[in-house]
Chains A and B, each alone.
Chain A
């Protein structure tokens, strides 16, 4: 859809660059390749502005609105492989240079940061005060907070701590017409007005440019342990569901499977105080023994390291698919779906966040530049998962793979309301059109 539009347009990156330079200074703008390639699947160099203040962001958005430029809000470009291929844009507004802590009150467990701060940096700032943002998304360490929030990225910790929508309590955001809006606040409980914050989480930049994000935090656990159970997949499945509905408190309950082998690993975290952790570990060992599984216990840094390695190997895969559905069905169907993947010729790593009902499939081997085989696989999985009420989303994939497919699988009857929201926040339709679900 974007291609024909692009031909009809006569906006040159040089012209944009010149105008933007006048607005934010020449040092804060450059013409770069890679952005449109990744986000729109088109080789088109584009002006990239890196404003340092919210005012400048707003000025840029107003300028874009005046000129009718399509605009991509972005961070460091680490998650451009998420979402649909949009129309090519005329200006990238990267908030990568806005990376300060705007407000941090450790005693209140609340922090506001600018969106360009990286996830790794945020974790470091918080750890220094014995705190954390309990998300562990499958993104690179140097992905920005703005990007993570805009993609609603999540990971295994969702099992206990919930998703970003449960942690973001306020935002500042520039709407598509340049107005600056504040949503929520800096207190952990707040029902004043509509909870507009939620709209921007996972909106892929289609509703505005984030300029500040406020999170509620958790203290770092007093004690950390991970129990790894390995062995037969059926036995792991039994243990996973037993644990989920037991008195135990797994802060991660991740079923990790490779290829289509019949063996796997169930990784169970415990963030409870040491007495509780000792009890939980003992219970898990007993369950493992009952089911003929082997058990290994990792503590503290060693445990963290295991998870880091797991994430790193997942990140090597160029494609991530996500299936959501009832946990019992997901784990029951996994074997069949793994066969589908294997038959399609893909090597896979599965990471199933059991309590959340989310399975991520990382596809490693893709000598499939044009994506035909991945798209076929997605179709097959949609068919298979759909039969048991599951939903398949392409979480991230190279542009070639996303061409000619709705990575979200389409919107239902709520579409008209979503279009209404889009028109309200972005009246000129300039914020990366086409990137969102249903081509919004």
Chain B
């Protein structure tokens, strides 16, 4: 099917106003929040119903044309980036809250519904949706499902997969299937569990049923500043070991503090502390003083220079905004930066931070550290200047080295941002060829021709060196690489057609 015929066929499904296909219109869809690799989509369509999504997918499947589902495009690993001449299926117009059942604590949304919008809609009734990625004011619940997104409060409440109970999914062949169960145990293999976190490679969610929670009666937020990073890490381990399950424990190092203090949310962190912890407990008001006291005592035991309890909602909000701005604010201290997303066993915090400091020194690149310390999820922000020859490559290499260090201490290469195209290579470090083959075999059940978001998430086994070279090539000649389908990531039958 040539471009003209394709546009005609798609227009028949969505009408002339919900399709983009002229080169000038497509630039915004060339990548997501991971900007190192870009590709031009064939077209972008904006379906409004499940039936439209199904018809689009059926058409593309029949014509062997690859496609990518897309939410808000805030992904940080290239999951929504079209690298194989795909049709982008944007879900942003499917943004309705379909129903809420407060009594039974469930809500059903369309995939384009923005995360924070849901909590705002539920707020007046005293409910909220727990997973709270820092991007929650823009990212979609469909994107959250696909990435199994996390957030600061996932320490106590769990990540997206713990909050989605059922979904309507358009499978890669266009079939519409209901998976999961609103209540109790779904019968059969846990397809929902598999599809959550599958980065849009196993189907497109078109309606999502989530658990909603009653807002906690009360919250206490503690901010503790430390002269030494190691003391802050030890505090985290000690709190976890003491039997308290805080709602969140976040950590920032000095460079990250400098960055966020330049944002609109100025806290005024001292310049001579190494780390700050933001610790929150929530639950029944009557139970919180003893928890907060205990936490404050533990911080002091580990030589916190200062420990402060938020005195008002406004102060608490400022602290959180400051923390949630960290990625964006890094732009104020560095022309370019890479956000990494490693995970370590929480007890290895001190060790990994020392390693990151070493890598920073060796490479001469500054690294700001921001992380969900409570569950060992690190976000090193590697600062570089793309205008200086060689720095981009260096930054990419440092990022990769950090992820390897995480794996070496028993961790993982991604805790919430996904593999996408960015971390394909690092997957090999974590999994054996046999493990990867098993994952590809499972993909093949749903997406045998790899038309549905091709080349993402799982690398082909046993082609390590080749991909490594290509990776460097892509980094060095991004604009050239964008021009041809990346053969190393997968052999997509649709590519170049």
Binding site for B on A (CB under 8 A): 105-110, 130, 152, 154, 162-163, 165-166, 175, 179-183, 185-199, 201-203, 207, 218-222, 241, 244-249, 272-280, 322-328, 355-358, 391, 393, 408-415, 417-418, 420-424, 436-438, 440
B284 within 8 A of A: yes
The answer, among A203, A279, A326, for a CB contact under 8 Å with B189, is A203
Contacts of B291 in A (CB 8 A): 273
Question: Considering residues B103, B185, B237, which has the most beta carbons from chain A within 10 angstroms of its beta carbon?
Answer: B185
Judge whether A193 and B283 touch: CB under 8 Å: no
B135 within 8 A of A: no
Judge whether A195 and B189 touch: CB under 8 Å: no
The answer, among A187, A221, A274, for a CB contact under 8 Å with B343, is A187
The answer, among B105, B150, B345, for a CB contact under 8 Å with A110, is B345
Contacts of A105 in B (CB 8 A): 345, 347
Instruction: Using CB atoms, name the residue of chain A closest to B415.
Output: A189
Judge whether A186 and B187 touch: CB under 8 Å: no
B289 within 8 A of A: yes
Judge whether A187 and B376 touch: CB under 8 Å: yes
Contacts of B241 in A (CB 8 A): 106-107
Judge whether B188 and A356 touch: CB under 8 Å: no
How far apart are the CA atoms of A202 and B193 in the complex, in Å? Answer: 12
The answer, among A196, A221, A246, A325, for a CB contact under 8 Å with B438, is A196
Judge whether A189 and B178 touch: CB under 8 Å: no
Contacts of A107 in B (CB 8 A): 237, 240-241, 346-347
What are 16 residue pairs bridging A and B, where the CB atoms are less than 8 Å apart in the complex?
A179-B438, A185-B430, A191-B147, A199-B190, A199-B194, A202-B189, A219-B245, A246-B214, A247-B214, A247-B216, A277-B287, A327-B183, A391-B184, A393-B185, A408-B187, A423-B445
Q: Decide yes or no: A278 and B427 within 8 Å by CB, A191-B197, A424-B442 being known contacts.
A: no
How far apart are the CA atoms of A436 and B189 in the complex, in Å? Answer: 9
Instruction: List 17 additional A-B contacts (Cβ < 8 Å) besides A152-B185, A166-B161, A192-B412.
Output: A182-B435, A188-B376, A189-B412, A194-B197, A194-B457, A202-B190, A222-B244, A248-B284, A273-B291, A279-B287, A324-B185, A325-B183, A358-B184, A393-B187, A421-B442, A422-B189, A424-B445
The answer, among A187, A219, A244, for a CB contact under 8 Å with B412, is A187
How far apart are the CA atoms of A279 and B185 in the complex, in Å? Answer: 33
Judge whether B427 and A192 touch: CB under 8 Å: yes
Judge whether B290 and A275 touch: CB under 8 Å: yes
B interface residues, tally (CB under 8 Å): 92
Contacts of A180 in B (CB 8 A): 434
Contacts of B411 in A (CB 8 A): 185, 187
Instruction: Using CB atoms, name the residue of chain B closest to A419.
Output: B445
How far apart are the CA atoms of A245 and B127 in the complex, in Å? Answer: 9
- The B453-484 residues at the A interface (CB cut-off 8 A) are 457-458
Contacts of A422 in B (CB 8 A): 189
B24 within 8 A of A: no
The answer, among A165, A218, A411, for a CB contact under 8 Å with B187, is A411
Judge whether B444 and A185 touch: CB under 8 Å: no
The answer, among A152, A191, A197, for a CB contact under 8 Å with B418, is A191
A-B pairs, 7 with minimum CB distance: A324-B184, A276-B287, A198-B193, A357-B183, A420-B445, A276-B284, A279-B286
Contacts of A414 in B (CB 8 A): 177-179, 188, 191
Contacts of A245 in B (CB 8 A): 102-103, 105, 214
Judge whether A188 and B375 touch: CB under 8 Å: yes
Q: Decide yes or no: A108 and B346 within 8 Å by CB, A189-B376, A201-B190, A275-B286 being known contacts.
A: yes
B492 within 8 A of A: no
Contacts of B493 in A (CB 8 A): none
Contacts of A248 in B (CB 8 A): 284
Contacts of A278 in B (CB 8 A): 286
Question: What is the distance, in angstroms, from B444's C-beta to the closest C-beta of chain A?
Answer: 7
B414 within 8 A of A: yes
Instruction: Using CB atoms, name the residue of chain A closest to B457.
Output: A193
Q: Decide yes or no: A189 and B377 within 8 Å by CB, A130-B243, A276-B287 being known contacts.
A: yes
Judge whether A179 and B434 touch: CB under 8 Å: yes
Judge whether B286 and A417 touch: CB under 8 Å: no
B221 within 8 A of A: no
How far apart are the CA atoms of A187 and B457 in the complex, in Å? Answer: 19
B196 within 8 A of A: yes
Question: What is the distance, in angstroms, from B5's C-beta to the closest C-beta of chain A?
Answer: 30
The answer, among A162, A326, A412, A417, for a CB contact under 8 Å with B101, is A326
Question: What is the distance, in angstroms, from A323's C-beta to the closest C-beta of chain B?
Answer: 8
- The B169-220 residues at the A interface (CB cut-off 8 A) are 171, 175-179, 181-185, 187-194, 196-198, 202, 214, 216-217
Contacts of B431 in A (CB 8 A): 182, 192-193
How far apart are the CA atoms of A248 and B438 in the complex, in Å? Answer: 44
B372 within 8 A of A: yes
How far apart are the CA atoms of A167 and B83 in the complex, in Å? Answer: 36
B104 within 8 A of A: yes
How far apart are the CA atoms of A221 and B176 in the complex, in Å? Answer: 43
Interface string of B352-379 (1 = CB under 8 A from A): 0000000000000000000010011100
B495 within 8 A of A: no
Contacts of A241 in B (CB 8 A): 103
Question: What is the distance, in angstroms, from B269's C-beta to the closest C-beta of chain A?
Answer: 26
B441 within 8 A of A: yes
How far apart are the CA atoms of A62 and B40 in the complex, in Å? Answer: 47
B33 within 8 A of A: no
B162 within 8 A of A: yes
How far apart are the CA atoms of A346 and B65 in the complex, in Å? Answer: 58
Question: What is the distance, in angstroms, from A110's C-beta to the closest C-beta of chain B?
Answer: 7
Interface string of B145-160 (1 = CB under 8 A from A): 0011010001000110
B99 within 8 A of A: no
The answer, among A162, A249, A423, for a CB contact under 8 Å with B284, is A249
Question: What is the distance, in angstroms, from A279's C-beta to the closest C-beta of chain B?
Answer: 4
Contacts of B101 in A (CB 8 A): 326
Question: What is the distance, in angstroms, from A239's C-beta to the closest C-beta of chain B?
Answer: 14
B344 within 8 A of A: yes
Judge whether B194 and A198 touch: CB under 8 Å: yes
Contacts of A409 in B (CB 8 A): 187
Contacts of A410 in B (CB 8 A): 187
Judge whether B158 and A162 touch: CB under 8 Å: yes
How far apart are the CA atoms of A195 and B187 in the complex, in Å? Answer: 18
Judge whether A193 and B441 touch: CB under 8 Å: no
Judge whether A202 and B185 touch: CB under 8 Å: yes
Contacts of B192 in A (CB 8 A): 198
Instruction: Using CB atoms, name the residue of chain A closest to B217.
Output: A247
The answer, among B148, B288, B290, B441, for a CB contact under 8 Å with A195, is B148
How far apart are the CA atoms of A222 and B104 in the complex, in Å? Answer: 29
Q: Decide yes or no: A279 and B285 within 8 Å by CB, A187-B412, A408-B187, A418-B188 being known contacts.
A: yes
